[in-house]
Chains A and B, each alone.
Chain A
């Protein structure tokens, strides 16, 4: 497909929906319908790195699965590289790569090279180019010297690099990546992000889902924020940050902050969002407020039962914008 004959957009998604029927109970089974994706629409440009971010269960993976033809949409339309996801399944699959994160998805008892060879066969890579392409991919992901060892002996990072090579074995035009850095140590995750950037430089289009906002900020040209199966915001990282341009973030490092105190903070009229995460023994509490540093005494008063180690103000990040958007949805 040359530039003249290809469709205007790499992917066009319109009002895409997916429901599941689930059953509850053992003897008196109750059928329930769950709406995983509730009418999402977006476009992806050629050569773009487009990100989908959202909490667990927001519908990111279901969306990726519909776009990669692994799931049929309940309603709505979607095209990828001009191919309809429900009617032109084989043509579409031939031109895309799929890279899911996590430990699984490889044949552990055979070598990395044998894994790539098998998927090359399933994608119909001509025998005349197969071995050369596999060697090239192994070098690209830095596995050439371990290619003939069993995958079970690989580290987590090596497995993820093999996943990336596997997803590129058919030389796809568009690559879908579902949380590719999940569970990786910082160095392996950085390597993975470098490889993703290289793909864009090579002219590929990438649709990425991630939990890590700094990763989306660093990599993506545009980001769609999904919550409860709907896109609640879609913009560049810089523009998404404008959702929190009027707030300051007060970051409190504390020990033993009670959930009731955090709830009390959330109820304050000057608080936009509160997020707490545990890092080691400490809690990092991020409070978004339009009142800036003058709100710190109020925060320390509400958290007086906790042992406060440090308090500082920060400029809001993409993560703060995300928390505000997801919290409001």
Chain B
């Protein structure tokens, strides 16, 4: 069984389904664009880091929204279609199916983020002043990969529940806030710090800001440490996701949680 074939097939099916549904425009284009536009209009006379916060905030909203909904709906969508049992009945491991779908969402998230950057720069004339575009891009891609892997971890629990939609709705904003997407995590209550630091995207966003602005202080660890931690969380999330999926697949068969019987 080719894991790559499973991964690639799931990636393609996810993309095809995504673009076949006209509703994709709302969470992926309109919501992040509106969010960024409002922030840029508020701070239209300010350049540099504030504009960057606004654009990164909108971009992260799109990326995280895509990833989380992708993970939650990756299997909820199959439940609705009645395809979950057929998918689970194939010899492919569920983790590679979900990884393919998550990767598809990550790519869509990246396109979403790039669109927001373009709108901010060309539509609103935002002065982002990216000091090191290459390092910025590396941090962006790693953050996106980390988000996708986080989506895989969440998705494993969504196999067991028919309430994935409630969980995705509940998780979207808290993660968005505690990763410091829109404002620094230093502004958040102290007790939220452990949650923030355990999330790869927190470090990824910090790294992006280091790459964009040489005067940025942020969490104080520097670009290299931030990038290393993001990479580490990426590996950790994937490992946890893999183990969870093995357990969850067996439990779903034992407890009959795929569909009503």
Contacts and interface: CB of A to CB of B under 8 A. Distances in A.
Most chain B beta carbons < 10 A, residue from A20, A71, A90: A71
B257 to A, nearest CB: 10
Contacts of B166: none
A71 B20 contact: no
A122 interface: yes
B86 A119 contact: yes
Nearest to B4: A121
B261 A20 contact: yes
Given A70-B253, A121-B9, A107 B89 contact: no
Contacts of B97: 122
A72 B254 contact: yes
Given A20-B256, A107-B83, A123 B91 contact: yes
A72 B254 CA distance: 5
Interface residues of A, number: 38
Contacts of B12: 118
A123 B86 contact: no
B2 A109 contact: no
B261 A65 contact: yes
Interface string B53-96: 00000000000000000000000000001110111111110000
Nearest to B9: A121
Contacts of A93: 89-91
B5 interface: yes
A107 B1 contact: no
A103 B89 CA distance: 18
Contacts of B228: none
A241 interface: no
A102 B10 CA distance: 24
A42 interface: no
A121 B81 contact: no
Given A20-B256, A69-B89, A124-B92, A110 B20 contact: yes
Contacts of A62: 261
A68 B89 contact: yes
Contacts of A211: none
A100 interface: yes
B123 to A, nearest CB: 31
Contacts of B88: 70
Nearest to A92: B91
Interface in B128-162: none
A65 B256 CA distance: 10
A61 B86 contact: no
Interface string A96-136: 00101011111111100010011111111001000000000
B212 interface: no
Contacts of B92: 122-124
A166 interface: yes
A174 to B, nearest CB: 13
Interface in B241-261: 250, 253-256, 258, 261
B81 A72 contact: no
A94 interface: yes
A36 interface: yes
B256 A71 contact: yes
Contact of B253 (A72, A91, A119, A124): A72
A105 B90 contact: no
A121 B6 contact: yes
Contacts of B21: 109
Interface string A246-276: 0000000000000000000000000000000
26 contacts: A62-B261, A68-B89, A70-B88, A70-B89, A70-B253, A72-B250, A72-B254, A90-B91, A93-B89, A93-B90, A94-B91, A98-B85, A100-B86, A102-B82, A104-B81, A104-B83, A105-B81, A105-B82, A106-B81, A107-B83, A109-B20, A110-B13, A114-B16, A118-B9, A121-B5, A121-B6
Given A91-B91, A93-B90, 18 more contacts: A20-B256, A36-B261, A61-B261, A68-B89, A69-B89, A70-B88, A70-B89, A71-B253, A72-B253, A72-B254, A90-B1, A103-B82, A105-B85, A106-B82, A107-B17, A117-B9, A122-B92, A123-B91
Interface of A: 20-21, 36, 61-62, 65, 68-72, 90-91, 93-94, 98, 100, 102-110, 114, 117-124, 127, 150, 166
5 shortest interchain CB distances as A-B pairs: A104-B82, A121-B9, A109-B20, A122-B90, A93-B91
